[in-house]
Amino acid sequence: MNFLDVKTDYAFKKVFGSENSKEILKSFLNAIIYENAKNKIKDLSIADPYNIPMIKGVKDTFVDVKAILDDDTKVVIEMQVLNHKGFEKRVLYNAAKNYSVQLNKGEEYHLLNPVIALTIVDFIMFEESKSIINSFKLIEKEQFINYSDDIELVFVELPKFTKSLDALENIKEQWIYFVKNAGSMEYIPNSLDETVKQALESVNEAHLNKDELEAQHKRKEFISIQKLAILKADEEGFEKGMEKGMEKGMEKGMEKGKLEIAKNLLDILDNETIALKTGLSLQTIADLRK
């Protein structure tokens, strides 16, 4: 068996954003967001039904699904493949925008419903944290007094998850493993939860036609090219930085060497001759004599 890479537009929305995704999305959100909550998600509706074109302009590097829970909480689910400048601000902006657009002019603020921004990233965001899932809310920064639960940012960093299939302990780990590794799996393991199995079946290439497979292939190719471009830019930037650092280091070393030579010549030669021999300025030599 071959499965689509869930980190791409087509596969991600096919799994979590289609009209048949309700039970799959409910299981996923319960595992990732509500694992320790007293009240699990009982029901939800997908705000944006799956309607992605075959090739979506191949310019966006993120995909998103919106869900509204039975308590009217809005969940914005985003899969971010490539990191870019300002990404953290964009996540916060999108969460705040989804929160603010709920009210029409003149409506009361108490009508606002909570917004959860669940962002799955295929890169490391928080080097200082070993946790795979990090959650952020508005709290007082010294006493940690909770201000509001109305906006919550939840990040899942896929590269931090390194467990193998046979080491998975719960459904949360199964879902993270699925999102990260579906594209490289070759069969549907019996050990997986039934909803995770359904998710894998929904991206089974055997169920897709030629056009759908071609669209997926082009999207993966585009993402690979973008990753290579970013890697190359990083490497070139590192090399230029090294060269510049070495040049500055050599310049400083040569300058220091000239000063030492000049010091040793102070009792032997006059300032003009020392300046001529070392290339230092007359003022520098005069300062050394002081």
pLDDT tens digits along 91-111? 899 888 888 888 877 788 888
Residue 285 and residue 274 in contact, taking contact as beta carbons nearer than 8 Å: yes
- Confirm whether 127 is domain-assigned: yes
229 domain-assigned = no
Domain membership of residue 220 (yes or no) is no
pLDDT of 180 reads: 94
pLDDT 10s digits, 136-170: 998 888 888 988 889 999 999 999 999 999 999 99
Of the pLDDT bands very low, low, confident and very high (cuts 50, 70, 90), residue 47 is: low
Range of the domain at 34: 9-208
> In the chain, how many domains are there?
1
241 belongs to a structural domain: no
Look at 38-47, 231-240, 260-269 and tell me which has the smallest mean pLDDT: 231-240
Tokens of residue 36, six digits: 């320790």
Least confident of 51-60, 92-101, 230-239, 260-269: 51-60
Average pLDDT of the chain is: 79
Does residue 281 lie within any of the structural domains?
Answer: no
For residue 116, what are its two tokens? 């959860």
User: For 199-215, what is the mean pLDDT?
Assistant: 77
Give the integer Cα–Cα distance in Å for 192 and 183: 16
- The pLDDT assigned to 56 comes to 37
Residue 48 confidence (pLDDT):
53
Closest listed residue to residue 70, CA positions, set 42, 103, 31: 42
Q: Is residue 223 part of a domain?
A: no
Query: What is the pLDDT, as a whole number, of residue 129?
Result: 92
Between the CA of residue 92 and those of 59, 76, 116, 155, 245, what are the distances in Å? 21, 11, 10, 12, 36
Count of other CB atoms within 10 angstroms of residue 139: 13
Residue 126 and residue 180: Cα distance in Å, rounded? Answer: 18
Q: At what angle do helices 194-202 and 171-181 cross, to 10 degrees?
A: 10
The verdict on residue 98 lying in a domain is yes
Q: Is residue 107 part of a domain?
A: yes
**pLDDT score of 62 more than 50:** no
